Structure 1
Amino acid sequence: MRERPPLVLSIQSHVAYGHVGNAAAVLPMQLLGVQPLPVHTVQFSNHTGYGEFKGQVFGAEHIRDVIEGLRARGVLARVDAVLSGYLGDAAIGEVILDAVEELRAARPGLVYLCDPVMGDVGRGVFVRPAIPDFLRRRALARADIVTPNQFEFELLCGRAAGSLEDAVDMARALLRTHEDEGPRLVVVTSLRTPDLSPASLTTLAVDVDSAWTVQTPFVDLSPLPNGMGDVFSAVLLSWLLRGEPAPEALARTVSALYGLIRRMPAGDRDLPLVQARGEIPGPSERFEAVRLA
C-alpha cells in the first residue's frame, strides 16, 4: 500500500483570477506530493494588484463551519501541518489557533507555519488594523515556523534591521521571546540591508543554533508579482514535511522561486505557476544555503 501524502490544512485567501493565497499555494504543494486542504478566508474576483476587485471576506464562523465539516469526515485528525496566510480578519486568526491547539493535542508533531501577511515595502500595511497586533501577540507564540518578508519582520520586531548580523540577532530575539512554545525557525524573505550587495537578494533562516542565507541575483521586476510569499511558504513547508533539513528546504525553495521569477513574461502580475511548473520540484538553477559563522 502506498504511503499517504502529508496533509496540510491551508487557511488563507483565494482569488478566481491570479495567484495569491490558496490560489498560489495549492498547486506547488500538489506538485511536491503534499495534499492541501484549502480553506478560504476571502473569496475575491482577483487580487489587489489588478486594482478593483469584487467578493467578500468570510466571517470566523464560516471558517469554523468548514473545519467542523472536515472534523466530521475524520479528515482533521489526519492533518500533518497547518499553513496560514492572509487572514481578512483577526477573529479568523483565533479560529486558526483553536484548530492548531486541537490538532496538536491529537498529533504532538503537528507543524504550524504562519506566514504573517501584513504588508510590504512600498505598499505599507494593507491588512485590517487588528491583524498586526494579533500576529505579534498571539500567532507568533503558537507557530513553529514564521516566514515574514523584511517589512513584516521589522514590523514584528518593532525596528529596522541595520545589517545582516542585526537581522540574525532580531530573529533570535523572536525565538528567545517565545522559547517555550514559539517559533523554532524564522525565515526572512527579500532581505536587503546596507551591508548586502544591491545586486543580490537574500533570504535568511534562523533557528536557536544556526543561521543560513541563500542569495540570488536581484531581478528588478515592474510590476512586482503578487503571491511570491504564498508560493514560498507552501514550497518551504512541503520540503520540510518531506523530511528535508532546514538549509536544504530553504535552498530548494529559493531556487524554485528564482526559477519562476526568471520565467515571468514582461508586465505580468502573477508567477507562471502552470507554465513553469517544472521549476517547483526541479529548479533549473540551484542556489545553496550558506551557514553563517
Structure 2
Amino acid sequence: MKILSVQSSVAYGHVGNSAATFPLQRLGHEVWPVVTVHFSNHTGYGAWRGPLLAPSDVADVITGIGEREVTGPDGKPVSVLATADAVLSGYQGAEDVGAVILDAVARVKELNPAAVYCCDPVMGDVGRGMFVRPGIPEYMRDHVVPHADILTPNHFELDFLTDRTTHTEAEVLDAVDAVRDRGPRDVLVTSVITDETPAGTLEVLAVSDDGAWAVQTPQLPIAPNGCGDLTSALYLAHLLTTRSPQLALERTTSSVFSVLEATIAAGTREIQLIGAQASIANPPERFQARQLR
C-alpha cells in the first residue's frame, strides 16, 4: 500500500509524520511523508526550533511528487499519485494548510477513485480544551471532515464536531452517526470515557457500515504526545489491509498499548516506537473487541 502522509515532523521524538511513517513502513507500506513543519522537537516541551513551512511550499512538494511518473496498467506513464491508496493527515496549523491537504486529496482521488482520505482532526482534548488557534476547529468541522472517508477523533473532538456532550455509550454512538451522516463512513473514537466506563479504563470505538465495536483497555498513567498520530496511522493501515473494522480496532489498540507499556518501562517522555516495533509489525492478540451493534 502507498500512503501520502501530510503532517508535521520533528527531529527529536515522535509526533506527526515522525510518529506515523516508521510504523507504516514497519507494516510493509510505502509512505510519502510531506511535512508542514520541521521542528527540533514537539511544542509540548515549551521551546523548539525550526521552520513552519509556507502552505505554498507544502503544495510545491506535493506537486513535485505528482510530476514523477511510473508505468500504469496499460503500459503508459501515469503520475505516481495515481498509485496512492490513501492520504493521511493530522494536525493542521492553519486554514491554508488545510486547503492544500484537501486539494491533494482531490488530486489523488481524481487519479485513483479508490483512494481514501484518513483525517485525524487534531483540535483538543479533555483537561486541555482546544490547543489549536481560533478558527481551526470550525474549519476542521465545516470543511475538512465532510471530505474524509476515515475519521479518528478523540472523545473530546467528537463532542465538538457534533455540538453535544456525550455521557453514555449510546450517546457516543449517536454522535458518531451524526458525523458519519456528513461524510466519513469509518470512524474511530479514541479515549472514550463515559459515565458507564469502569474506573481505571477507557474505550476505543470503531464504527462503519458493517457495525460498531469497542475495545476496553486499562488506563495507563501516561499520555505522551504522538499517540494519536500513531493510532490514526495504524488504524488506516489495518483497516485497508483487513477490510475489517473489528480486526483493525483490535490490532491498533494492542500495538498502541504495547508502545505505551514500553514507554513506561523505559521511563521516557517520547513514545518508544523503536523499542516496541515488534508489537507494531506483529500486533499481539491482547484485546478482543465487543460488538455494540
TM-score (norm 2): 0.93
What letter matches 1:170 in structure 2? Answer: A
Is the 8 Å Cα contact of residues 214 and 289 (structure 1) preserved in structure 2?
yes
Is the 8 Å Cα contact of residues 81 and 111 (structure 2) preserved in structure 1?
no
1:155-211, Cα deviation, whole Å (9 max, x unpaired):
2111221111100001001112x2xxx100111101001111122110011224511
Kindly indicate whether residue 46 of structure 2 is the aligned counterpart of residue 51 of structure 1: yes
Q: Which residue does 1:250 correspond to in 2?
A: 249
Q: Which residue does 2:128 correspond to in 1?
A: 123
| Change in CA separation of 1:266 and 1:32 when aligned onto 2, cut-off 3 Å | closer
- Equivalent residue in structure 1 for 2:160, among 155, 160, 176: 155
Kindly indicate whether residue 34 of structure 2 is the aligned counterpart of residue 39 of structure 1: yes
Q: Which residue does 1:83 correspond to in 2?
A: 88
Q: Which residue does 2:72 correspond to in 1?
A: none
What letter matches 1:110 in structure 2? Answer: A
Deviates more, 1:259-268 or 1:62-71: 259-268
Partner Cα separation in structure 1 for residue 140 and residue 269 of structure 2: 27
Is the 8 Å Cα contact of residues 208 and 245 (structure 2) preserved in structure 1?
no
Partner Cα separation in structure 2 for residue 44 and residue 121 of structure 1: 25
The unaligned stretches of length 5 or more in structure 1 are: 1-5
C-alpha displacement at 1:266, in angstroms? 5.6
Aligned residues: 282
- Equivalent residue in structure 1 for 2:4, among 9, 16, 37: 9
1:18-37, Cα deviation, whole Å (9 max, x unpaired):
10000000010001111110
Partner Cα separation in structure 1 for residue 22 and residue 285 of structure 2: 21
Partner Cα separation in structure 2 for residue 208 and residue 72 of structure 1: 36
1:87-115, Cα deviation, whole Å (9 max, x unpaired):
12111111111111121122111110000
Q: Which residue does 1:3 correspond to in 2?
A: none
| Change in CA separation of 1:267 and 1:119 when aligned onto 2, cut-off 3 Å | farther
Q: Secondary structure at the match of 1:9?
A: strand
- Equivalent residue in structure 1 for 2:175, among 167, 170, 184: 170
After the TM superposition, which residues 70-219 of structure 1 pair with which residues of structure 2 at under 5 Å, given as runs? 70-74=65-69, 75-176=80-181, 178=182, 182-219=183-220
Is the 8 Å Cα contact of residues 124 and 157 (structure 2) preserved in structure 1?
yes
TM-score (norm 1): 0.93
Partner Cα separation in structure 1 for residue 126 and residue 213 of structure 2: 23
| Change in CA separation of 1:151 and 1:267 when aligned onto 2, cut-off 3 Å | farther
Is the 8 Å Cα contact of residues 227 and 271 (structure 1) preserved in structure 2?
yes
- Equivalent residue in structure 1 for 2:18, among 23, 39, 46: 23
C-alpha displacement at 1:81, in angstroms? 0.2
Q: Secondary structure at the match of 1:286?
A: coil
After the TM superposition, which residues 56-75 of structure 1 pair with which residues of structure 2 at under 5 Å, given as runs? 56-74=51-69, 75=80
What letter matches 2:14 in structure 1? Answer: H
Q: What is the RMSD of the two structures over their aligned residues, measured on CA atoms?
A: 1.3
C-alpha displacement at 1:17, in angstroms? 0.7
After the TM superposition, which residues 276-287 of structure 1 pair with which residues of structure 2 at under 5 Å, given as runs? 276-287=276-287
C-alpha displacement at 1:49, in angstroms? 2.3
Partner Cα separation in structure 2 for residue 36 and residue 266 of structure 1: 28
Q: Which residue does 2:229 correspond to in 1?
A: 230
Q: Secondary structure at the match of 1:272?
A: coil
Q: Which residue does 2:221 correspond to in 1?
A: 220
